[in-house]
Amino acid sequence: MDPYEIEDTSDWLGTPSRLETVKHYASMLEEDIHGLKCQLQSAKENIADLVNMNDKLSDELKKARTWMANLEAETTEQLAEIQSLSLVRDQNEKLRRELEAVKRQ
């Protein structure tokens, strides 16, 4: 193909120059960077909120574990008391049976 057959479009109306294309691309990049900065700020705020929520939940978990430990201690004490009373009851019943056996003789 001869050079005179290639259409030169550089002087057409509405065709951007190289500088205009680079400027347009730079402005698109600036918009993308601004959008990313906004997303980053939002993510930082979300992370801060999540950290606060985690701290509150950790405190609640500690309180619940303390409450459960106290409840377990109370239950253990009550169980020990019940076992002691059951032992006394069993001894009482044994003595009654022995007394009844002695009375029958």
Q: How many independent structural domains does the chain possess? A: 1
* pLDDT for position 74: 95
* pLDDT for position 69: 96
Contact status, residue 17 vs residue 25, Cβ threshold 8 Å: no
Domain for residue 56, yes or no? yes
pLDDT score of 63 more than 80: yes
More confident residue, 1 or 82: 82
Q: Residue type at 42?
A: S
Domain for residue 81, yes or no? yes
Domain hosting residue 83, numbered range = 16-104
Domain for residue 74, yes or no? yes
Domain for residue 5, yes or no? no
pLDDT score of 5 more than 70: no
Domain for residue 34, yes or no? yes
> What contacts 24, CB < 8 A, 6 or more positions away?
16
* pLDDT for position 1: 58
What whole-number distance in Å separates Cα of residue 27 and Cα of residue 34?
Answer: 10
Kindly report, residue by residue over 7-30, the tens digit of the pLDDT: 666 666 677 888 989 999 999 999
Domain for residue 55, yes or no? yes
